[in-house]
Structure 1
Amino acid sequence: EVIEPSSERITPDCPYFPRCGGCTYRHIRYEEELRLKKQRVQDNLSRIGGSDVTVEEILGAQDTLRYRNKAQYPVSKDGAVGFYRARTHEVIECEHCLLVRPEADAAAEALREYMQSCRVAGYDEKTGRGLIRHLYVRSNAAGESLVCVLVNGDKLPKEDRLVTLLRDACPKCTGIVLGTNTKKGNVILGDRYRTLWGSDRLEDTLCGKTFRLSVPSFYQVNRAQAERLYAKAIEFADLTGQETVLDLYCGAGTITLALSDHAKKVLGAEIVPEAIDDARENTARNGVKNAEFFCGDASDVAKKLARENLRPDVITVDPPRKGLAADVVESIAEMQPGRVVYVSCDSATMARDVKRLADLGYTAQRACAVDMFPRADHVETVVLLSHKKADSYIHIDVEFGEGEGKIPVDS
């Protein structure tokens, strides 16, 4: 019950709010949402990170509606296609989401029709039975889309019917893929994919470069804000064109290739083989000659490069929400870069890592928040860390030779 509404409170514009857990701030003015997000990042850096760095600004989004270029709909055992209720795995049926592109809504409706008409069951997390687990839709700036249906098996009944419904619903669809995920739990993506129709990749442009993206490849969900985020990361890196840069958790190479225009050499590392394949293809497609990619866990790659005495001038990291593993932090410090640029979608785990890096000689110098997810809970952050310089020096003059006050050479 609201006894006295705040001056910042507004009437939610979504009929599913707050039952659907996708949005957190639909009842608050956007300016106040930005203030709260910036303050959260500042609090985490201060309280968790023990840092006195100031969050300089938060870069708000021009568009707060239908900005997501990727939608992932969980499917319930009774065939509901929507999003989870907050802090639960109860699927709230959602026919029109204000965060996703119209083609994603259309694909979700086509999947509902397929499941009903062909009597295909949704997945039951408790029993591990049922077929359809998630619907994945990725879109590009041109309005084209790549659709993937994640299933608890290797095939679906009447796959041709599914393809027809999805193509009719999404006329600019470029490909439809079936992903297999037979593992119990709530992991979304599968470990193998089969193309039902069209291409298994989608092409998009970002920071003046062209990228081909497979289903497993990481790619920022808000293209306009991603360009501002990467521009800020490049600003913090302060490159002159003579540096070697190591980009950990590089995904399909988006940050790596954005950095390639400003560095002598860039190296990218990523654990997902499909993403590395995309990164290498994107490098060739864009005619980039100074980029190299490694497939492997960030920790293993960092240790390998440290053992090989690689000394990058700058290291950039963009890890998942869980942040950096402790041994990755140690390997970064062992390579002794002058600067570390940390891009994060979870300011709490980032602040924890800022503290870890501080213990190894790296101090947070600058911080900026970027609202990649308007109306939702998360906020992106970029932090620049630099290696500490000695506060003072002791100069000792030693004179070698014979005589009083001198040190004999043979000593």
Structure 2
Amino acid sequence: MTEWKKNAVHPLRIEGYTAEGMGVARLEGRVVFVPFTAQGELWRVRLEKVRSHMAWGRGVELLEPSPERSEPDCPLFSRCGGCQFRHLTYAEELRAKGQRIADALERVGGVRLDLPPVLGAEVPDRYRNKVQFPVASGRHGPTVGYYRPRSHDVLDVADCLLQPEIVTTLRRAFLGWMEDFHVPPYEETTNSGLIRHLYVRTNQAGEALCCVVANGRSLPHTQELIRRLRQAVPSLAGVVLNQNTRDTNVILGQDYHTLWGKDFLEETLCGMTFRLSVPSFFQINRAQTERLYAKALDFAGLTGTETVLDLYCGIGTISLTLAQRAAQVIGAEIVPQAIEDAKANAARNGVDNVRFLCGDAGQTAAQLAREGIRPQVICVDPPRKGLAPDVPAILAGMSPERIVYVSCDPATLARDVKRLAELGYHTICAQGVDLFPRTSHVETVVLLSKGEIDSKKVRVEFSLEDMDMSGFQ
């Protein structure tokens, strides 16, 4: 009988990937998870953590490498939790993400589709427009970096290939200020110290907004910090202090104070301008978000006569995109500040056929139904946990012709697709979009219909030029 205990070593063939990007192998019917491996590879694997039906192992010798294996271009790849796929070619990463979507839809959702390839990024690096650095005490002083995988240990990261170079420059200047003036990092275990996070937003214009999250109401040597940050990045738009004195893992507190410059950035998306404050939700990959929204608009099949309900609308990015083709759009979001931002964004872009409501998605939809509103199209873009249990029935009760579902988690998407199928809405087509290259995350947009639609009649190609806003100016 094969040895099934810690430190046992076995030759194992990698059969696929987990949702977190780990390789999956099998040993006499039991599953073994092996990080930093590629599908098809043969490894000698040491079992490091063993349970009755599964184990976690570490590859100790690569016996048969995959042609899709790539030398990681980051020296911290195996120690940092930021990326999961830098040991693979980008083509293999996209294939794996597409397979993950297809498997979830079939196994959980009961839907088998001939999915098109995942839409990959032209440039899979330096795409993050928001970066949050945790700050901690290291052996040689303060550490400003990223968490190690599955821990709260902060790894010092001098540069990250996911972030713009100006973020790297700001981090270096900020760390120098902390070191030179002995500014104490926050200590999680004792809820003491001062600096909790460095939070940076950037935009397409090359500007940056810097927010220091502190366990206090003020910073020492503030003017020197501002001087150093401005000198390091002349395009710096503003420096903000966020006060978070709570004993919590939540990054941002409720109180903000602008130390210098502006407390927002402006960004263009799909031909429109959006104002982004520090807490505003905005997709971190602008270029790929445009492709995602273009596909959602394509799936919506709007002709200019429809009423559209956009649930989980955030600051209104999808709502305003849909408004270009609809008679009217109603956006709903539970976060009050996001709704205020959405209203301001509509006014800023001259969009007058959209209104925004603050409230729970299910409760808002139910209230609209009681008022007799029957949207022809409903768009949902829920958080990772997917739709609340009561929402699918509420949506079906409104009897829309089509539902467009934008998802950041194939598993919860598949669960909700199954719920909607039981209510008479069938999945017509789906498209994966890679908003997070080199990580295990993937976005999916799905079209569901109450009636029968020939999926061949749904346009596969869509030009961003179709999303011109000149009609609203």
Instruction: Give me the whole-angstrom Cα distance separating, in 1, the residues matched to 2:135 and 2:398.
Output: 45
Aligned counterpart, 1:130: 193
- The 2-side partners of 1:387 and 1:10 are apart by 44
Residue in structure 2 matched with residue 19 of structure 1 by the alignment: 79
Amino acid at match of 2:155: I
Pairing partner for 2:92 from 15, 32, 38: 32
Retained in 2: the 8 A contact 1:176–1:196?
yes
2:408 pairs with one of 337, 345, 364: 345
- Does residue 366 of the first structure (1) align with residue 434 of the second (2)? no
The answer for unaligned runs of 5 or more in structure 1 is 390-411
Distance across 2 between alignment mates of 1:75 and 1:309: 51
8 Å CA contact 1:10, 1:28 repeated in 2 = yes
The alpha-carbon deviation at position 97 of structure 1 amounts to 0.6
Aligned: 1:115 with 2:178: yes
2:127 aligns with 67
Alignment of 1:262-273 (within 5 A): 262-273=325-336
Equivalent in 251, 257, 262 of residue 199 of structure 1: 262
The answer to whether the Cα contact below 8 Å between 2:130 and 2:200 also exists between their aligned partners in 1 is: yes
Task: Give the match for residue 66 of structure 2.
Answer: 6
3-state DSSP of counterpart to 2:117: strand
> What is the CA distance between 1:114 and its match in structure 2?
2.2
Note if contact 2:379-2:404 (Cα within 8 Å) is conserved in structure 1. Answer: yes
TM superposition shift of 1:302? 2.4
- How far apart, CA to CA, are the structure 2 residues paired with 1:181 and 1:360? 44
Q: 1:46 aligns with which of 106, 109, 117?
A: 106
Pairing of 1:71-86 with structure 2 (within 5 A): 71-78=131-138, 79-86=142-149
Deviates more, 1:141-150 or 1:355-364: 355-364
Greater CA deviation, 109-118 or 88-97? 109-118
Q: How many Å separate the matches in 1 of 2:120 and 2:240?
A: 34
CA distance in 1, matches of 2:291, 2:280: 20
Q: 2 CA distance for matches of 1:255 and 1:267?
A: 11
Look up the equivalent residue of 1:213 and give its one-letter code: L
For residues 92 and 300 of structure 1, do their structure 2 counterparts lie closer, same or farther at Cα, with a shift above 3 Å needed?
same
Pairing partner for 2:291 from 228, 231, 240: 228
Partner of 1:394: none
CA distance in 1, matches of 2:125, 2:109: 33
Q: Distance in 1 between matches of 2:113 and 2:223?
A: 56
- Asked if the contact 1:214–1:274 (Cα under 8 Å) also holds between the matched residues in 2, the reply is no
CA contact (8 A) 2:401 2:451 kept: no
Quick one: distance in 2 between partners of 1:47 and 1:153?
49
Secondary structure (helix, strand or coil) at the match of 1:75 reads: strand
TM-score, normalized by length of structure 1?
0.91
Going from structure 1 to structure 2, the CA distance change for 1:307 and 1:193 (only over 3 Å counts) comes to farther
| Cα contact 1:216–1:272 (8 A) shared by 2 | no
After superposition, the Cα gap between the structure-2 partners of 1:196 and 1:363, relative to the gap in structure 1 and judged at 3 Å, is same
Confirm whether residue 244 of structure 1 aligns to residue 313 of structure 2: no
| Larger fraction in strand | 2
The residue correspondences of 1:127-166 to structure 2 (distance < 5 A) are 127-166=190-229
Of the candidates 247, 251, 256, which is equivalent to residue 188 of structure 1? 251
- Structure 1 equivalent of residue 163 of structure 2: 100
Partner of 1:210: 273
1:298-349, Cα deviation, whole Å (9 max, x unpaired): 2332232233232111111112212121123332222221111111111111
Aligned mates of 1:323, 1:82 — CA distance in 2: 30
**5+ residue gaps, structure 2:** 1-59, 453-473
1:388 Cα shift?
4.8
For 1:72 and 1:341, locate their aligned partners in 2 and report how far apart those are by CA, in whole Å: 31
Indicate if the aligned counterparts of 1:265 and 1:291 stay in contact, CA closer than 8 A.
yes
**DSSP-derived class of the 1:81 partner:** strand
Could you tell me whether the CA contact under 8 Å between 1:217 and 1:272 is conserved in 2?
A: no
Per the TM alignment, residue 184 of structure 1 is displaced from its structure 2 partner at its CA by 2.8
Deviation by residue 1:204-226 (Cα, 9 ceiling, x = unmatched): 11111111111111111111111
Q: Kindly indicate whether the alpha-carbon contact (under 8 Å) linking 1:214 and 1:278 is maintained by their aligned counterparts in 2.
A: no
Alignment partners' CA distance in 2, 1:54 and 1:133: 47
Answer yes or no: is 1:90 the counterpart of 2:150: no
Q: Is the 8 A contact 1:56 1:366 kept in 2?
A: no
| Distance change >3 Å, CA 328–CA 223, structure 1 → 2 | same
Distance 1:388-1:180 versus aligned 2 partners, 3 A rule: farther
Q: Residue in 1 aligned with 2:25?
A: none
Greater Cα shift, 120-129 or 357-366: 120-129
Which residue pairs with 2:449 in the alignment?
386
Question: Residue 392 of structure 2 aligns with which residue?
Answer: 329
Tell me which stretches of 4 or more aligned residues in structure 1 moved more than 6 Å: none
Bigger relative contact order, structure 1 or 2, given CA contacts below 8 A and separation 6+? 1
Give the one of 338, 341, 356 matched to 1:293: 356
